[in-house]
Chains A and B, each alone.
Chain A
Amino acid sequence: MHELHDQIWTSLPNLFSTMTAVRNPYSISPVLTTSGPFSDEEFAPSPDVITALADMSILVIGAGGLGCEILKNLALSGFKKIHVIDMDTIDISNLNRQFLFRPSDVGKPKSEVAAEFINRRVAGVHVTPHFGKIQDFDNDFYMQFTLVVCGLDSIEARRWINATLVGLVGDSPETLKPLIDGGTEGFKGQSRVILPTITSCYECSLDMLTPQTTFPMCTIANTPRLPEHCIEWASVLEWPKHFDRKADNDDVEDVTWIFEQARARAEQFGIEGVTYQLTQGVIKNIIPAIASTNAIIAASSCNEAFKVATTCVPFLNNYMMYSGNNSVYTYTFQHQKRPDCPVCGVQVLRLAVPKSTTLENLIERLKENPATKVKNPSLRTASKSLYMASPKELEEMTRGNLVKLVGELVGEEEVTVTDEALPFSLRLVVDVE
């Protein structure tokens, strides 16, 4: 008896604080319990909408700069069942914008620290963290959510989740999971709404990405001009000569080694500007990131999530760009679906190549083409394997085809391109000119 009393007593303050702390829907109730001149005609304003929002499961991908903001925004907009996936741990350079993390959290999983913070600050909201890769979860996992909000910095991960959600679409309407995607770079960013199979998808707009600067190997090896050339020389050509392992770009000693090699080479050639920061920027491909831009993009994404989830007013169709470099510039437009999109399109991709093109040339083109961006592809037709990147035995067996002319090898046949990094295959017809 005494024990039970103690138990109740110790749990009481907790219970009490949870009860009083649950935040009321004061902020969202006008727009959900009334309608206005711009509300959708079918929208039925009611307190039930608030309840439905609280019952809905929503998935957040990424607990970084955008992710921290997204979690806060959803938690303060009436969503209560939130899941978050992130594979990263906290780094000191995250602290200038990832506001759910403190210096003592460095090294801990982002998803867990972020979820714990939100659950503590916004009582009544339950964030479930998943420390891992999005690729580790199966279709059943993704099927449980009503919508997905993405705050990623990786193109590959975005292509994967986009293709996965397009693949989930079946006969019943619940299988269509709207994807809201945000991205930032410095003072610029964009947010967009993707209705898989219905609107333009992430893959449809792949060619809008600014191509990553790559330096020709002969320049790096023989005729460097820029400090970047010296850094690439040190990290790509020199490092493997001295070490059996890959360089750890977050390790001060490894970065220092590359920096010093690069600086020595720069001095030898009279090139100015090799610094530690630049070295790190080049080898890690660092993109500047600030709190304010993350706030703008995450909040506009969550505003769309709120509108999609409640249908209270029309949502974004389908792309908004923001730039703050020169005053404020924004552009809202409808990005068009690509009929030959390898993920959501219906047509095969046609590629015109000159007669002299070898299979190796074709693979190079697929790597460079902004609309395909494969890394290490395998190619086959219905009748034969053209080139298999792995396993080793198959690679060796098909390597001989690389020097052969595409026109002779393929003819009019459709080519299927697969890549380890992509969850879908690309259908291609080569037109030899």
Chain B
Amino acid sequence: MHRDKRQRMSDSIPSQKDRKYDRQLRLWAASGQRALEDASVCLLGSSPVATETMKNLILPNVGSYTVVDGGNVTEDDLSANFFFDSDSIGKSKAQSASLLLNELNKDSTGSYLDQKPSKIVASNLSYFDQFSIIVASVSSFDKYSDLEALSEYLYSHYIPLVVISSAGFYGYVRVVMKELPIIDTHPDSLVDLRLDSPWPELMEYVNNFPEPETAAARDHVPMIVLLLKTADKWIKEHEGGLPTKRDEKLAFKKQVEALRQGDSENVDEAVAAVWRLYQKSNQVPSQIRDLFNLSAEDSTDRDPTFWTLVEALKDFVAETGTFPLSGTVPDFKAYTKDYVDIQRVYKDKANKDLSRFKEIVATKVVEVPETVIEEFSKNSRFIHLARGTSLTHDISPESLAQITSEDDDLLKLYYVIRASQMLGGKQDAFSIMTKTNELGVTADVVEYSQEVARYEGRELHNISSVIGGVASQEIVKILAKQYVPLNNTVLFDGIGSKMEKWLL
């Protein structure tokens, strides 16, 4: 478990509700849960892939959802759908599905609209403005172009759209979002030791660290102290500073290894952490530099909080040459007091950076809540901006150029499925092949076209459930604004039992 998570957990005996959601709170914490519970989802379609996706959002307690579909349930609709039963036959699909979905979790509020998605797209696009996210099953549309029209509208309105599709052994998820900023991306580690550029208080602590007098004390000297002392000595001996060349680095590592006497777990830790000395704390990662350049672009629909924080970060980096310190240290062998003291040195520095960062934020126009500033400051090195495309971009030259000459390139299959959907979902192999070629795919797609044709657009429950799982994972990440979401297409091949993803 990430060590920084625990501060966000409540300090007392959990409520009934916290116990119910305990296993997911350990992933996205109370802040993610709140975002999920504030969200409203619009589900277009009620076929297995749609209801399976919705199930996985209702269970973790998405705030509210609306199932939209037209038409009535037939015997065939029951074949692979867990959320229709014999009582559903002849009744509204949207109503029947929402009735059985509602049973999953009384905390989540469900409703339905007995209307064809295509009809809403044609008559009332602003209907979708009320939702946090739209989940659209391709088969619920009369025409693929209706879905494209919806995609264009949502894209320009900064409302995320997740397109889901399943037929036979194949399925895909296509995420459409113009821009999604994420502060807490859950990197593997937030540890930032600044060994390449220790600040005065850290060096003071290291220099004052007493020489060990016993073997036990020697085995408990913290690895940070071992590394910084060895580095200090090296710098004094080599006027130029820390080692840069390969042979210098080897020689330095030998010096650290020479500290070993007996068991010396702490020396092992120091040797394993030597690389941290060569991290460049003053370097701005390229994806953050891109953000700094983007922040000047203005749009009223963009997340004002995030962009204010990016502006402030840009100022902070310009002023200090580096990022606010996260304050997270790893575990290492040490006496309790020494460990706690070092932790304190890092925390104090992190708090100092945070105070300065807050001052800068305060000079901006948009007011940002304290907790958001704190989270941003801590994660500033790992913030992420997902920038996607609309569905129409699928057939752009740069998307099509990603097709390789490999026989089993699944991107070809994506276009075959898309072609069949543009033809209405149930076509012969030759028509699908011809349509795929019309889209601009020149590679051989005979076999994929034959395979897709024989499915007749029918969903296999297992494939729909895989896709429902993948889609709901992405939707949770988008709604919670945590982790890094898919950008933007993943396809599951249930025959080869593999997935591939692309940015189209």
Q: Do the beta carbons of B6 and A277 come within 8 Å of each other?
A: yes
**A195 located at the interface, meaning its Cβ lies under 8 Å from any Cβ of chain B in the complex:** no
For the complex formed, measure the closest distance between the CB of A39 and the CB atoms of chain B, giving whole angstroms.
9
Chain A positions 314 through 327: 1 when the CB is less than 8 Å from some CB of chain B, otherwise 0 = 11100010101111
**B497 located at the interface, meaning its Cβ lies under 8 Å from any Cβ of chain A in the complex:** yes
For the complex formed, measure the closest distance between the CB of B166 and the CB atoms of chain A, giving whole angstroms.
10
**A143 located at the interface, meaning its Cβ lies under 8 Å from any Cβ of chain B in the complex:** no
For the complex formed, measure the closest distance between the CB of A34 and the CB atoms of chain B, giving whole angstroms.
5
Given contacts A93-B20, A223-B336, whether A330 and B86 have CB atoms under 8 Å apart is no
Give every chain A residue within 8 A of B25 (Cβ-Cβ): 277
Q: Do the beta carbons of A299 and B463 come within 8 Å of each other?
A: yes
Docked pose: A224 CA to B1 CA in angstroms: 18
**B245 located at the interface, meaning its Cβ lies under 8 Å from any Cβ of chain A in the complex:** no
Docked pose: A26 CA to B455 CA in angstroms: 11
For the complex formed, measure the closest distance between the CB of A229 and the CB atoms of chain B, giving whole angstroms.
9
| Nearest A residue to B22, CB-CB | A93
Give every chain A residue within 8 A of B18 (Cβ-Cβ): 277
Q: Do the beta carbons of B455 and A30 come within 8 Å of each other?
A: yes
- The segment out of B112-120, B282-290, B480-488 that lies at the interface is B480-488
**A137 located at the interface, meaning its Cβ lies under 8 Å from any Cβ of chain B in the complex:** no
**B91 located at the interface, meaning its Cβ lies under 8 Å from any Cβ of chain A in the complex:** no
Docked pose: A254 CA to B105 CA in angstroms: 30
List CB contacts (< 8 Å) of B165-208 with chain A: 168-169, 185-186
- The segment out of A95-103, A108-116, A400-408 that lies at the interface is A95-103
For the complex formed, measure the closest distance between the CB of A57 and the CB atoms of chain B, giving whole angstroms.
19
Give every chain A residue within 8 A of B185 (Cβ-Cβ): 326
Contact of A270 among B61, B220, B340 (CB under 8 A): B340
Chain A positions 127 through 155: 1 when the CB is less than 8 Å from some CB of chain B, otherwise 0 = 00000000000000000000000000000
Q: Do the beta carbons of B55 and A328 come within 8 Å of each other?
A: no
Q: Do the beta carbons of B465 and A298 come within 8 Å of each other?
A: yes
Docked pose: A320 CA to B498 CA in angstroms: 7
Q: Do the beta carbons of B499 and A330 come within 8 Å of each other?
A: yes
Contact of A96 among B14, B23, B168, B450 (CB under 8 A): B23
Contact of B462 among A289, A306, A326 (CB under 8 A): A306
Q: Do the beta carbons of B495 and A38 come within 8 Å of each other?
A: yes
**A240 located at the interface, meaning its Cβ lies under 8 Å from any Cβ of chain B in the complex:** no
Docked pose: A17 CA to B334 CA in angstroms: 70
| Nearest B residue to A317, CB-CB | B497
**B443 located at the interface, meaning its Cβ lies under 8 Å from any Cβ of chain A in the complex:** no
Contact of B483 among A293, A307, A326 (CB under 8 A): A326
**B158 located at the interface, meaning its Cβ lies under 8 Å from any Cβ of chain A in the complex:** no
Q: Do the beta carbons of A286 and B483 come within 8 Å of each other?
A: no
List CB contacts (< 8 Å) of A1-59 with chain B: 17, 20-21, 23-31, 34, 36-38
Docked pose: A328 CA to B9 CA in angstroms: 27
| Nearest B residue to A187, CB-CB | B473
Give every chain B residue within 8 A of A281 (Cβ-Cβ): 1, 26
Q: Do the beta carbons of B6 and A327 come within 8 Å of each other?
A: no
Q: Do the beta carbons of A30 and B168 come within 8 Å of each other?
A: yes
Docked pose: A365 CA to B503 CA in angstroms: 48
Give every chain B residue within 8 A of A34 (Cβ-Cβ): 454
Give every chain B residue within 8 A of A296 (Cβ-Cβ): 466, 469-470, 473
Q: Do the beta carbons of B490 and A328 come within 8 Å of each other?
A: yes
**A302 located at the interface, meaning its Cβ lies under 8 Å from any Cβ of chain B in the complex:** yes
Contact of B486 among A186, A286, A327 (CB under 8 A): A327
Q: Do the beta carbons of B22 and A30 come within 8 Å of each other?
A: no
Docked pose: A56 CA to B31 CA in angstroms: 47
Q: Do the beta carbons of A290 and B27 come within 8 Å of each other?
A: yes
Docked pose: A187 CA to B272 CA in angstroms: 28
List CB contacts (< 8 Å) of B1-40 with chain A: 1, 3, 6-7, 9-14, 16, 18-27
Give every chain B residue within 8 A of A102 (Cβ-Cβ): 103
**A271 located at the interface, meaning its Cβ lies under 8 Å from any Cβ of chain B in the complex:** yes
Q: Do the beta carbons of B465 and A313 come within 8 Å of each other?
A: no
Contact of B498 among A28, A29, A276, A332 (CB under 8 A): A332
Q: Do the beta carbons of A299 and B469 come within 8 Å of each other?
A: yes
Contact of A295 among B1, B16, B468 (CB under 8 A): B468
Q: Do the beta carbons of B86 and A303 come within 8 Å of each other?
A: no
For the complex formed, measure the closest distance between the CB of B74 and the CB atoms of chain A, giving whole angstroms.
9
**B277 located at the interface, meaning its Cβ lies under 8 Å from any Cβ of chain A in the complex:** no
**B458 located at the interface, meaning its Cβ lies under 8 Å from any Cβ of chain A in the complex:** yes
Docked pose: A297 CA to B497 CA in angstroms: 12
Q: Do the beta carbons of B334 and A225 come within 8 Å of each other?
A: yes
| Nearest B residue to A34, CB-CB | B454
**B501 located at the interface, meaning its Cβ lies under 8 Å from any Cβ of chain A in the complex:** yes
Q: Do the beta carbons of B1 and A225 come within 8 Å of each other?
A: no
Q: Do the beta carbons of A256 and B13 come within 8 Å of each other?
A: yes
Docked pose: A290 CA to B21 CA in angstroms: 9
**B315 located at the interface, meaning its Cβ lies under 8 Å from any Cβ of chain A in the complex:** no
Contact of B466 among A187, A226, A303, A313 (CB under 8 A): A303
Give every chain A residue within 8 A of B469 (Cβ-Cβ): 292-297, 299
**A76 located at the interface, meaning its Cβ lies under 8 Å from any Cβ of chain B in the complex:** yes
Contact of B470 among A37, A270, A286, A328 (CB under 8 A): A328
Give every chain B residue within 8 A of A298 (Cβ-Cβ): 465
Chain B positions 295 through 338: 1 when the CB is less than 8 Å from some CB of chain A, otherwise 0 = 00000000000000000000000000000000000010011110
**B232 located at the interface, meaning its Cβ lies under 8 Å from any Cβ of chain A in the complex:** no
Q: Do the beta carbons of A300 and B466 come within 8 Å of each other?
A: yes
**B79 located at the interface, meaning its Cβ lies under 8 Å from any Cβ of chain A in the complex:** yes
**B75 located at the interface, meaning its Cβ lies under 8 Å from any Cβ of chain A in the complex:** yes
Give every chain B residue within 8 A of A77 (Cβ-Cβ): 80, 460-462
For the complex formed, measure the closest distance between the CB of A14 and the CB atoms of chain B, giving whole angstroms.
12
Give every chain A residue within 8 A of B496 (Cβ-Cβ): 314, 332
Give every chain B residue within 8 A of A72 (Cβ-Cβ): 82, 465
Docked pose: A34 CA to B456 CA in angstroms: 11
**A196 located at the interface, meaning its Cβ lies under 8 Å from any Cβ of chain B in the complex:** no
Q: Do the beta carbons of A269 and B456 come within 8 Å of each other?
A: no
| Nearest B residue to A94, CB-CB | B23
Q: Do the beta carbons of A92 and B23 come within 8 Å of each other?
A: no
21 A-B pairs with C-beta separation under 8 A: A37-B450, A37-B451, A72-B82, A76-B79, A77-B460, A95-B59, A225-B334, A225-B340, A277-B6, A277-B25, A288-B24, A291-B60, A292-B470, A298-B465, A303-B463, A303-B497, A314-B495, A324-B473, A324-B477, A327-B484, A327-B487
8 tightest A-B CB contacts, nearest first: A295-B469, A296-B469, A299-B465, A21-B86, A27-B80, A26-B79, A316-B497, A76-B461
